[in-house]
Amino acid sequence: MSLLEEKEPVKRVQKYLNEYNLNLKVISLDTSARTALEAASSLNCEVGAIVKSLIFKTENKFILCLIAGDKKVSLKKIKKTLNIKDAAMASADEVKNISGFTIGGVSPIGHLNKLNTYIDNSLERFDTLYAAAGHPNCIFKIDYKNLQKITNGLIKNITE
């Protein structure tokens, strides 16, 4: 086990993965996966196969949106999907307080607080997806169907 895998947020993700499927493992990288571009470069895959985990503040709660690394979230579509008037990116402090992760290592799973999760349907085009695992140098590999199951996320069209 690497030193990165000893970090609490990474251990939280691995525990969650273990409870779901013992074959899913946190992978420590020698290079950064802080951004989708860096992760794709480190993993030698398409940028779109990187799952971006983005937390938004809505009128009365926080939500998690999982989108392909080559896409941008559409606030207009989020508002329409949730039938709300207001949504904005959560601040770095809010992300840390709500999820227990720092930006660059926000995982789709293992959050300190339960978040409603929305998965953009554009992720479906990839056989293998890579998501952050609690640290900018840690990821885990998963397919679309299992990402949906492990996060209990709703599939929506939420990108531009």
pLDDT in tens, 21-72: 999 999 999 998 999 999 999 999 999 999 999 999 999 899 999 999 999 9
Predicted confidence at residue 1, as pLDDT, reads 60
Name 112's bridge partners.
none
The per-residue pLDDT of the chain, averaged, comes to 95
Q: Contact, 86 vs 58, CB < 8 A? A: yes
Predicted confidence at residue 142, as pLDDT, reads 98
Its CATH architecture, for the domain 4-156, is Alpha-Beta Complex (3.90)
Q: What are phi and psi of 48, to 5 degrees?
A: -65, -20
Compute the distance between CA of residue 91 and CA of residue 77 in angstroms, rounded to an integer.
20
pLDDT, average across residues 135-149: 97
